[in-house]
Structure 1
Amino acid sequence: MIGKKVVETEPVPMAEVKVILEKFADKYEFTYEQNLALEHVKKFSKIDYENAQKLIEELTELPNIKKKHAVRLADLMPEDIADIRLIFAKERIPIKNKDFENILKIIEKYR
């Protein structure tokens, strides 16, 4: 890929991907891979676009939670603290038990 480079990357929740793909489907015919992607997000997105945006905003207000973590939490919608710990297992972020409980409370509001 000569002359092409990534200028910017930003994590996008599955709910937003679903909206983008559905808008694209209205104008164009999908390829096989695009159909698979749309089926995947329809099957596995657990929250709608508006609630996903609100959830991500609330989660990023917590200490040490970046947007990429908030998007991952919004996509997976963990049901208990053990699941949240697994999401942050590889991260080198100091998160207290109190913060895990706050994350779970915020997620429960949007479930």
Structure 2
Amino acid sequence: MSEKAIVEVKPITMYEAKKILSEAITEIGEPLYGQKICLDYLNKFAKLSPEEGKKIVEKVLEVNDKIRPEVAVKVSDLLPMDEEDVKIIFAKERVILDREEINMIVEICALYLR
């Protein structure tokens, strides 16, 4: 078996994970049990395209320059629908968002909710 090296570590949205996992399963054929469970979960919850997920992350990062990419990805994955949801996502973060920034994040997510 060939060894693979980790080239880069970066947070990805569940939409990107779904695409990567689907391509990997197509390449190898029959998925392993864990891959099948993961893909089932992603098919159930990842309803946006990878491009839409990336756009959300980019827009959230523009709201406040102190937002970490990992948290922006979490916002993209969870698509908070109100202020409380946003506050919960940012509860353990050192960045403090004002009401305007929270509303901007809710509005960004609302554009992609179907």
User: Deviation at 1:6?
Assistant: 6.8
Q: CA RMSD in A?
A: 1.6
Q: Distance in 1 between matches of 2:83 and 2:94?
A: 17
Equivalent position of 1:96 in the other structure: 98
Task: Determine the C-alpha separation between the residues in 2 that align with 1:107 and 1:45.
Answer: 14
Determine the C-alpha separation between the residues in 2 that align with 1:12 and 1:25: 18
TM superposition outliers: structure 1 runs of 4+ over 6 Å: none
The code of the aligned residue for 2:59 comes to E
Paired position in structure 1 for 2:109: 107
Cα distance in structure 2, aligned partners of 1:76 and 1:56: 11
With the length of structure 1 as denominator, give the TM-score of the two structures. 0.88
The aligned counterpart of 1:22 is 22
State the secondary structure of the residue aligned to 1:61.
helix
TM-score (norm 2): 0.86
The Cα shift of 1:68 comes to 0.8
Aligned counterpart for 1:87 among listed residues 83, 86, 89: 89
- Which amino acid in structure 2 is aligned with residue 35 of structure 1? K
Offset at residue 46 of structure 1 (A): 3.5
In the other structure, the counterpart of 1:10 is: 10
Ranges in structure 2 where 5+ consecutive residues have no aligned partner: none
**Residue in 2 that maps onto 1:55:** 56
Identify the residue that residue 38 of structure 2 maps to in structure 1. 37
| Alpha-carbon separation, structure 2, partners of 1:20 and 1:93 | 31
**What's the CA shift for 1:76?**
0.4
Q: Which amino acid aligns with 2:76?
A: A
Give secondary structure in 1 for the equivalent of 2:104: helix
